[in-house]
Structure 1
Amino acid sequence: MGQFLLVCACGGVGAVARFVLNTSIQRSWRKLFPLSTFIINVLASLLAGVAAAAYTYQTVNYYTYLLFVTGFLGGFSTFSTAINEMVSLAKGKKFVMAAFYFVVTLVIPFSMVIVGWWVGSMGR
């Protein structure tokens, strides 16, 4: 039960971090491209890659990995929001932007996991 509550608490901290970063970016970014969600998901992907490598190479234990990835990054990252933004762009007939956002939302975070894995495994 304690592990469950800790994951919930870390998820809450991640959600608050997402809210703060999202709000900060949106205050200065007034363009069509949903930059705040994109940055959040790219950062979360990079950190997930670092965490995966750290766990694989036993730099961190399972509980640290669980709390960080499942808890914090689970609350921080927001793939569902990205999908909703793609649909909203398409409904607004911004098809080129929706397609571009779709591609970069998949390709760049995937690449960041690889970069994160590489960073997390340096020295191995």
Structure 2
Amino acid sequence: MLFRIDPGAPEPLFAQLAGQVRSAVAGGALAPGERLPSARDLAASLDVNLHTVLRAYQDLRDEGLIELRRGRGAVVSARPATDYAPLHAAIAEVVATSRRLGVAPETTTALLKEALR
């Protein structure tokens, strides 16, 4: 999996990284038992501080999404995944409505984030 961060974004780097892992798990791109890159390797590839990646991994561990295993690194949790099908359908509806109305993706994203607060 390819991770990307935007240093200029208002969201902290660790939150961007954790969000990408959450999305990948929810979308099926990361399966239970799949290993994530080591924190050291990921920090080097993204050119960020090691503690940034560790913070993201710790948050994901605290949520139960990944397990941190000594000597094996971060592994996607084997527990049953939540059924995201209804959420995917709702998001598809929002995207379709947004496109039909000609709303910019950035505006749609901002509206979703505001609704989640």
Q: Same fold (TM over 0.5)?
A: no
- Greater per-residue strand proportion: 2
Which one scores higher on RCO, CA 8 angstroms, separation ≥ 6?
Answer: 1
Normalised TM-score (structure 2): 0.31
Normalised TM-score (structure 1): 0.29
- Greater per-residue helix proportion: 1
